Amino acid sequence: MTFSEMQKAYDSRKFRESNTYEGDDLGVRIISGKTYFRLWSPFADSVQLKLYKSQKGGSPFRTVEMARSTHGTWLSVITGDLSGTCYTFDVNFSGHSHETADPYARAAGINGNRSMVIRLEDTDPPGFREHKKPEATDPVNSIIYEVHVRDLSVSPSSGIRNKGLFLGFTESGTRNPHGFATGIDHIRELGATHVQLLPIFDFFTVDEEKGGYNWGYDPYNYNVPEGSYSTDPFDGMSRIRELKEAIMAMHKKGLKVIMDVVYNHTGITEGSWLNLSVPYYYHRTKGLEFSDASACGNETASERPMARKYIIDSVLYWLDEYKLDGFRFDLMGIHDIETMSLIEEKVHEKDPSALIYGEGWTAKDSPLPEDHRMVKKNIIRTKRIGAFNDDLRDAIRGHVFKAKSKGFVAGATGSEEALKFGIAGAVSHPQVDMGDLLYSSAPWAGSPEQSINYCAAHDNHTLYDKLRISGGSNEEHLRDMSRLSDAIVLTSQGIPFLHAGSEFLRTKNGDENSYKSGDVVNMLDWNLKTKNIDIFHYYKGLAELRKSRKALRLGTAEDIRKNLVFYGKGKGSSLRIRENNVVAYIVSSEAPEKKGSLLVAFNGSRHDVILGIPDGSWSILVDKEKAGTLPIGIAEGGSCVLKGTSALVLEANGDFELKADYRDFHDSRNRKIILAAALLSAGLIALHGRFRKKR
């Protein structure tokens, strides 16, 4: 059978019924003194199992003809425990032979070119299987901190011994030269709850013998940890054991661990293990040409049953074997909705608190229709899958691909509605004009946990670099803009996401795509924590405030619509804003133990403005330079000064309950939003107003 004939057969009903294998034993297993190998390759004419004593070079010491088995699989059973043995499959199609590693391999030799037989129980550090994950809480209680394994520790200023390695995450008590905490102690001190690791599976570009740098978005062995992050990449078990040690250490610090997964494409195309074992099945194609929604040369066909099974099996393996706490899906918009929904269902059956989110877009066009893919607008069709809120990101800092484009914090006007959309967690809110956003045309989150709020990530410029390029070189203004940017993120409804080092003004010297730029550009310079300790304390204070005030972590869309009221520009409004570049709102919590009302305001212009506030006494918790849970001043009702390029958070002293009943109506030209009544429960003040926003 030719490759073209195979490709045409894959989507037929006959193929699906005959060749969809549902077993859980693909790959290698050791059972009762025997080693079982199973490969799915339905159109192969023959398959040979090759056993090697070495991890590279040399000839196999044994070659075994595999037997055709059920539903397109091939099986070989070898008497004896072959732990430590390397192996490959030689797959033959019409006289053409392809040697491939095992796509389901859980261990590998150097550089992942040969798979390895191991007993997984031998890779558990003492106490790993018994140790407990941090306590499960509501997803909106999360604060995610994204970091690359090497970046965390490789700098001479990190004080970490195991530089660039998984074990760097196990070291406690590390300090920079000036005595400030680094590593996981720093992350915990900051107040993050989750650590999102850039790809930790085995990727293609770094030579594990020589070392090197790459972000790792070029998958090679999906179920094997990256060897260059281990102390001995020749030891197939050390990379597994040391990753488990890192995860357990973070868990013991109260930090959950999220894995950045890249199932949307393979690092190489024709030569990937998936394609060599079943040509043209695992990738989307146009004829025999590979489509390329990833802009990396190919895209995977998650909608096909065995490709879907592969992704789901892999996710559940990492969840169970490594005790992970969530997954971030790279270019999630490539995956089909059914596959992602099944992942959501199966992961939450095992761990209801696990976070699942990703990029709700593609890099290029895909042949799979958009209505079938997990793009941002389809997030609302799932229950608990989240997506990055790029409307909020670019509203804050400016267009991500236009370096000199200014955002709200740099004084640009026109992004206020996008900012409000992000503040409301991307859910439907009657005071957000959906016709005036940057990218979205409708609310795409059904609940706030589906909105991952951020203004910087590993991709594109760091926050500091973007603001420097777009906003000017005045250092004090850069510091103000940085504080304001993540003050918006950390007070918005949804789940905040922080790029490692933003909290001390991390720079990559303007490199906007540093995926292979090396340690000098990418490493976290821990001396910056000393230089910018005031910025760090500001971020830390914001995290503490978020954790302590339920009003900043409302759990449902209805809670947000009911309890969050934006200032408007209507002339009759008591909650009125007269200036552009100012967004303000009052948000309340009805939770008895966390009851309270906050007034939150952001000024993106460089000049001070007068902000009207309801009568009464208000404690200042956040201003231009300080943030935290304790009052740093008092504002009396009537008005207060909102300084230029700053955030302000006030908390009502005494009982204060804002109740709002919204009625929305349309005429042929305008969408009018009415705030019918807003009452203070203490009876001290009645707020009457009307908010108008013309399209």
Q: Annotated catalytic residue: which of 171, 330, 336, 449?
A: 330
408, pLDDT greater than 90: yes
pLDDT of residue 657: 58
Smallest CA-to-CA distance from 587 within 575, 600, 569, 573 is with 600
Question: Any catalytic annotation for residue 330?
Answer: yes
Residue 594 contacts residue 649 (beta carbons within 8 Å): no
Where residue 91 sits, what CATH number does that domain have? Answer: 2.60.40.10
Label residue 27 left, alpha or beta by phi (over 0 means left) and psi (-120 to 50 means alpha).
left
Q: Are residues 147 and 201 both part of a single domain?
A: yes
The sign of the CA dihedral 168, 172, 177, 180 is positive
**Does residue 38 share a domain with residue 175?**
no
Looking at the fold, whether 576 and 521 belong to one and the same domain comes out as no
> Do 495 and 386 form a contact (C-beta atoms < 8 A)?
yes
Whether residue 572 is found in the same domain as residue 476 = no
Res 674 pLDDT > 50: no
Does 690 score more than 50 pLDDT?
no
Name residue, tokens 């304390």.
537
Q: What is the pLDDT of residue 662?
A: 32
The count of structural domains within the chain is 3
Q: How far is CA 13 from the centre of its chain?
A: 36
Q: In this structure, are 574 and 541 located in the same domain? A: no
89 lies in the same domain as 169 = no
**Overall average pLDDT of the 572-585 stretch:** 81
Residue with tokens 């740098």: 213
Reported as a single tens digit per residue, the pLDDT across 470-493 is 988 899 999 999 999 999 999 999
The mean per-residue pLDDT over the stretch 420-435 comes to 96
Under the banding of pLDDT at 50, 70 and 90, the label for residue 577 is: confident
| Amino acid in position 133 | K
What range does the domain containing 66 cover? 3-100
Work out the pLDDT band at 585, boundaries 50, 70, 90: very high
CA 625 – CA 611 distance, rounded (Å) = 18
The residue out of 46, 74, 100 marking a domain boundary is 100
Does residue 343 sit in the same domain as residue 449? Answer: yes
Contacts of 348 (CB under 8 A, 6+ apart): 354, 356, 384
DSSP state of 441: S
Q: Rounded CA gap, 628 and 648, in Å? A: 11
Domain boundary among 492, 527, 551: 551
Give the CATH number, domain containing residue 334.
Answer: 3.20.20.80
Whether 546 and 428 share a structural domain: yes
- Residue 273 belongs to a domain: no
Q: What is the pLDDT of residue 614?
A: 92
The CA-atom distances, in angstroms, between 348 and each of 223, 328, 605 are 20, 15, 44
pLDDT number for residue 575: 78
Residue 304 is classified by DSSP as S
Do 487 and 584 fall into the same domain?
A: no
Give per-residue pLDDT as tens, 302-320: 999 999 999 999 999 999 9
Q: Are residues 675 and 690 in contact, defined by beta-carbon separation less than 8 angstroms?
A: yes
Active site residue 17: no
Question: Is 581:603 a contact under the CB 8 Å cutoff?
Answer: yes
Using one digit for the tens of pLDDT, what is the confidence trace for 121-177?
999 999 999 999 999 999 999 999 999 999 999 999 999 999 999 999 999 999 999
Predicted pLDDT of residue 594: 52
Q: Which of 359, 433, 449, 559 is catalytic?
A: 359
Query: In which element (H, E) is residue 636 found?
Result: strand 633-642
The strand pair at 73-79 and 355-358 is best described as unpaired
pLDDT beyond 70 at 677: no
Tell which residue, 495, 504, 585, has the closest CA to residue 547. 495
Inside any domain, residue 227:
no
Q: For 12-39, what is the mean pLDDT?
A: 97
Q: Which of 413, 421, 459, 460 is closest to 440 using CA atoms?
A: 421
448 domain residue, yes or no: yes
Q: Is residue 147 classed as helix, strand or coil in its secondary structure?
A: strand
| 3-state secondary structure string across 529-583 | HHHCHHHHHHHHHHHHHHHHCHHHCCCCHHHHHHHEEECECCCCCCCECCCCCEE
Asked whether the beta carbons of 67 and 31 are under 8 A apart, the reply is no
> What predicted TM-score, i.e. pTM, was given to this entire model?
0.94
Please, which pLDDT band fits residue 659 given cuts at 50, 70 and 90? very low
Do residues 364 and 429 both lie within one domain?
A: yes
Q: Phi and psi dihedrals of 394, rounded to 5?
A: -80, -25
Residues 546 and 491 in one domain: yes
Residue 660 domain-assigned (yes or no): yes
pLDDT in tens, 194-248: 999 999 999 999 999 999 999 999 999 999 999 999 999 999 999 999 999 999 9
- Flag whether pLDDT at 572 surpasses 60: no
Residue 597 reports pLDDT greater than 70: yes
Which candidate, 634, 627, 628, places its Cα nearest to that of 654? 634
CATH number at residue 629: 2.60.40.1180
Whether 224 is in a domain gets the answer: no
Among 78, 100, 122, give the residue marking a domain's end: 100
